[in-house]
Structure 1
């Protein structure tokens, strides 16, 4: 019937209820009863497009009040649809690509860029906690999102589609949307079910932001996380999440490192070439945001004379917000442990392998010398990050292996290439007459090396070895590229929650310095123990 006839029909008893996208208003409440709301509508204006200047084609949901960001500095997420949109629609803008959403927020707040582009729903949640930011114009575009799967794992994709249809029908999906997106809650429900059918490996980005995914009290929460956990329970599997950079998700799914991507993955033709998408489970928008005018002026003039400033209070507040709140110190301790484990194991593996390569390099066999030379040249000429990615995504593409083990292998191989040359230069620095003297005294070549050459070599190479070891410790900060939650990643997760550019970075820097200092003292002690002068002084005393 015509829309205007619905309420009279209800009042006259001609129909039992009206179902027609019925907006709840105070006037209508006086005439009829409303159920609980089942959907929230946005109202938009519509005009005829100008024939003289036709608008550029964009996805459904584009706003007529979209801002013109040409000539400005714009922050976007690397590898996202926001990145692609900005490249095509703002050719005269300076685009700065960041790896994490928290970096985009901080870039806007610190004045490094004029505007940022990110998911509309997440921005609204951020604005509730940070009123210094605001949207610039309306929604730029909207795109359906889905789960991503390996193209060879179509059965799992079909299972998710059936699961999604089930929760849409039984009301679970509507309840999730109402809790996470409409009301803005941030508490995960208890999801029951058996977990006897194996493991579901899920790739996520922990700092996507609410309502989709964050880390709270050292666990993942959000709409995407609940959806993934419910799917795992539906399959009877234990869920194992891998926290990755957004740009690595598709590569991880394509190489079967994970079974599913659960990170509000927008459906695009380019991504569909690499992975398979499930049925869409939501549609999200993208918007530009800026600092409010008054806030931007305050940032620009924060050095004005006469302003009261306390040095201690920001430190106390930063410690409370970044360390104590939500038990974030546990993230730091966990990341510190992983960093130390990778550093120590990589050094041990690299030292043993480097000694073997050094022996091959100094061998009289031409084949062994050639192989060792190629190994050293190849590993020293390859960036550690590239080596790490190659081993994880190519060498072990079809193997289920712990990313920490991959990190140890990659850093160990790189360390071995440098250690082999350090060892060789140390051995060759010993006068050949000492070898001849040892052999003439009746020692075998092996005993001559172990008792005469090696102690002197260790004492000579320790200063260089020490520096290389400290470089290894600092290089481990890139392991987040393969979903290892080390010290740097822990700092990134905290920044994604607090948007504090100062405290997490300084804290991580201090911890790396502390690790390096302790290792430096240990190596210095070993250096003294192998120094003949130290031994003579100790004996004399």
Structure 2
């Protein structure tokens, strides 16, 4: 779906917020520069390309010698562009909704992912010329092939497409009385189609071919749209004010077309998809899930550690005699608790990226730690207040100053009181940290979506991820309960 591919109603809007606050400033600054992007790429010898590898046959992953490897039509095009510039290719994976923000804030040199160069997108980034044009199709259940033969038969029916995508707009515009439903990912749409929640799903022709060749229950029909020049084609996005970079990309695209390389890219992508679907058992993808668990636990453990440190600091500031300290603590806590973690993750990764290039994993840990600190501070403040005032008076009678009283008397007792609440916060962090997948951290949810895209199985990867989350939470709960009993008997 020449992207067509867009993730959800909320995610693009949140990304737009970050783009307006930080990306606009960055784009304006670079637009005034002397178009140095291409020179920087050549000087460092590496071209950083953003993509979202959950969209076969354009970009997806395969298990190659035990390593997750990005492949697909767009990946081959990116390789050719890097080869033409005599530099190495470095792929940076993230959600599609984050790609244009990454371009604007300089996280990547360019973004490729079947991006349709709409006039709205062209206001924020520059585009190369079209490198691939494909027609529009609908996926339907083969059992309904007799009733649905063309878009005319879809009038008044339920049609699915990726939210705010080209296919979504085309269905709204061209099919009278259709009930068009937007979802975040194509595998979700196909699952809704197969469970008869939708009558058809609008996709790009290569995507339709990929699904029908790997799922005998699906059938492709031509969309029959009368398409304008802005309704077809995929282009490469670069930062505003980079004409030399655009010219270099266009030269590579011209060379690719002259040498007729794209048919070969499509054929190669088909081979990879066929290899992926030869064994779609979840055990075959155990390394994907294991890698996701590893990153999920790293983020959770490190974030709760720093969250507790920050929480103690904020709680002490909140209880301070100085009004300015109390105001700072209250303000921080209210802002963090009053905004979605998704916005905070985007803000840290892309917002701070204006000043310093933070890796996705580090940005995810920082964002989750800052979020956790606000909640932990309230838990700790409640624990401190739960300690009887007589404990403070007893400490004073023993000659302890305020600092030692807090350190040796109040905090140890308060932590004993709040242990269950801290345990719940840890478990919550394990589950909510999945939001970092939006910036390309390969946690469990990220790997879940990759497996769904590679295997064309909508439900099985979800069940595996649910079981893994449950097992982690169950084991952690038992460990926390054990230490809670130990403290109570201590």
Structure 1 residue aligned with 2:167: 82
| CA offsets 1:405-448 (integer angstroms, 9 cap, x no match) | 12112211111111111111111111112111111112222222
Query: Which contiguous aligned blocks of 4+ residues in structure 1 show a shift greater than 6 angstroms?
Result: 59-64
Once the two structures are TM-superposed, the CA of residue 391 in structure 1 deviates from its matched residue by 2.6
Summarize the alignment of residues 444-523 of structure 1 with structure 2, pairs less than 5 Å apart.
444-523=401-480
Residues 1:355 and 2:315 aligned together: no
Q: Distance in 2 between matches of 1:444 and 1:505?
A: 55
Contact 1:388 1:406 in 2 (8 A): yes
Q: Distance in 2 between matches of 1:60 and 1:522?
A: 54
Residues 1:322 and 2:281 aligned together: yes
| CA offsets 1:28-68 (integer angstroms, 9 cap, x no match) | xxxxxxxxxxxxxxxxxxxxxxxxxxxxxxx9978995435
Structure 2 residue aligned with 1:155: 244
| CA offsets 1:174-208 (integer angstroms, 9 cap, x no match) | 2x333343687425xxxxxxxxxxxxxxxxxxxxx
Which residue of 164, 186, 192 maps to 1:107? 192
Gaps of 5+ in 1: 1-58, 188-209, 218-316, 536-541
Q: Are the structure 2 counterparts of residues 445 and 529 from structure 1 closer, same or farther at C-alpha, using a change threshold of 3 Å?
A: farther
Q: Distance in 2 between matches of 1:356 and 1:77?
A: 44
Summarize the alignment of residues 250-269 of structure 1 with structure 2, pairs less than 5 Å apart.
none
The structure with the largest helix share of the pair is 2
Structure 2 residue aligned with 1:95: 180
Gaps of 5+ in 2: 1-132, 138-148
Contact 1:480 1:486 in 2 (8 A): yes
Q: Distance in 2 between matches of 1:60 and 1:127?
A: 16
Once the two structures are TM-superposed, the CA of residue 356 in structure 1 deviates from its matched residue by 0.6
Contact 1:335 1:487 in 2 (8 A): yes
Q: TM-score, normalised by structure 1?
A: 0.59
Structure 1 residue aligned with 2:203: 118
Structure 2 residue aligned with 1:270: none
Q: Are the structure 2 counterparts of residues 394 and 69 from structure 1 closer, same or farther at C-alpha, using a change threshold of 3 Å?
A: farther
Contact 1:106 1:499 in 2 (8 A): no
| CA offsets 1:130-153 (integer angstroms, 9 cap, x no match) | 121112344434612211111144
Instruction: Give the match's secondary structure for 1:515.
Output: helix
Instruction: Give the match's secondary structure for 1:480.
Output: helix
Structure 1 residue aligned with 2:382: 425
Q: TM-score, normalised by structure 2?
A: 0.65
More off after superposition, 65-74 vs 342-351: 65-74
Q: Distance in 2 between matches of 1:185 and 1:386?
A: 37
Q: Are the structure 2 counterparts of residues 329 and 154 from structure 1 closer, same or farther at C-alpha, using a change threshold of 3 Å?
A: farther
Instruction: Give the match's secondary structure for 1:378.
Output: helix
Structure 2 residue aligned with 1:386: 343
Aligned residue-pair number = 343
Once the two structures are TM-superposed, the CA of residue 91 in structure 1 deviates from its matched residue by 5.3
Residues 1:177 and 2:134 aligned together: no
Contact 2:150 2:222 in 1 (8 A): yes
Q: CA RMSD in A?
A: 2.7
Contact 2:320 2:326 in 1 (8 A): yes
Contact 1:323 1:329 in 2 (8 A): yes
Structure 1 residue aligned with 2:22: none
Q: Distance in 2 between matches of 1:450 and 1:182?
A: 67
